[in-house]
């Protein structure tokens, strides 16, 4: 199943130029992802912005909020206003696009209702992987179908133009793992590129293939969340540092590419 993400990108008048530059740079590099710029003209109505857009944003998978140092206070008010919206159900996950925002401010935004965040310097592979992981956590795969989560994460880890074949049915949810109706061992084998199940594949081989791909997807997301900090990553995964290092070595995954300075 091929699935295209539709993401709204909110543009404030004060940062219209920087948002447009990011869109022009990011859109051509993103695989199966459409970025739709939404203009919000009233800088005086921060608290009412998200409730006013609630119905419009339901047609999108994710709403990206470009948050900069000079718009930080405005977005704090906007998130607080969304949390206090009376009788308004806000379903669209909010993804912050940070630029020159310190770690303390990021944590504050998360407490106010921001679902996840990334940084303007993140490349297209990281951006799409982050979006797919956010959708899985937010539960929107139940609306869009079970095939998108790891299938999309696989494509996000590969260069543009290449297609990966991740098993469907395995989705990361907060604090637990769930198996969807489309289980990989129930799918009929069909001829295809290397790495896809073949008709003579044994149970042990299929299990190892599925497990390896799940571990790779989980490690990439884990290291991104921890910003390459192995100690932090081991705490999130509730796994000993040595065991985590061993798993990373097994899949030849390094922490260095994920180490991004988040201070201004």
- Dump pLDDT digits (tens) for 115-124: 889 999 888 8
Tokens representing 50 are 């998200």
pLDDT over 60 at 146, yes or no:
no
Q: Where are the domains of the chain?
A: 5-258
Closest CA to 130 of 146, 119, 141: 119
Is this model's pTM higher than 0.85 or not? no
pLDDT of residue 182: 33
- Dump pLDDT digits (tens) for 55-100: 888 889 899 999 998 888 888 888 887 776 555 566 788 999 999 8
User: Quick one: three-class SS letters along the chain?
Assistant: CCCCEEEEEEECHHHHHHHHHHHHHHHHHCCCEEEEEEECCCCCCHHHHHHHHHHHHCCCCEEEEEEEHHHHHHHHHHHHHHHCCCCCCCCCCEEEEEECCCHHHHHHHHHHCCCEEEECCCCHHHHHHHHHHHHHHHCCHHHHCCCHHHHHHHHHCCCCCCCCCCCCCEEEECCEEEECCCCHHHCCCCCCCCCCCCCCCCHHHHHHHHHHHHHHHHHHHHHHHCCCCHHHHHHHHCCCHHHHHHHHHHCCCCCHHHCCCCCC
Tokens representing 49 are 């912005």
CATH assignment, 5-258? 3.40.50.2300
């Amino acid at each position: 199943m091929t699935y295209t993400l539709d993401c709204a990108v909110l543009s404030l008048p004060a940062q219209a130029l920087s948002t447009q530059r990011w869109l022009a740079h990011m859109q051509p590099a993103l695989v199966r992802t459409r970025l739709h710029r939404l203009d919000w003209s009233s800088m005086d109505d921060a608290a009412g912005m998200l409730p006013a857009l609630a119905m419009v944003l339901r047609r999108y998978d994710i709403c990206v909020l470009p948050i900069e140092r000079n718009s930080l206070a405005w977005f704090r008010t906007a998130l607080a206003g969304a949390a206090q919206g009376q009788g308004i159900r806000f379903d669209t996950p909010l993804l912050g696009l940070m630029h020159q925002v310190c770690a303390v401010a990021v944590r504050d935004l998360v407490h106010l209702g921001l679902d996840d965040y990334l940084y303007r310097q993140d490349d297209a592979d990281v951006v799409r992987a982050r979006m797919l992981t956010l959708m899985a956590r937010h539960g929107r795969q139940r609306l869009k179908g079970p095939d998108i989560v790891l299938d999309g994460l696989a494509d996000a880890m590969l260069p543009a133009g290449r297609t990966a074949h991740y098993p469907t049915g395995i989705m990361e949810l907060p604090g637990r793992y769930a198996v969807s109706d489309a289980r990989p061992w129930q799918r009929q084998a069909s001829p295809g590129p290397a790495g896809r199940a073949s008709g003579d594949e044994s149970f042990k081989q299929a299990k190892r293939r599925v497990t390896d791909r799940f571990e790779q997807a989980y490690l990439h997301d884990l290291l991104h969340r921890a910003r390459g900090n192995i100690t932090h990553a081991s705490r999130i995964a509730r796994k000993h540092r040595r065991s985590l290092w061993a798993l990373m070595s097994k899949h030849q995954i390094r922490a260095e590419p994920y180490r991004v300075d988040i201070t201004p």
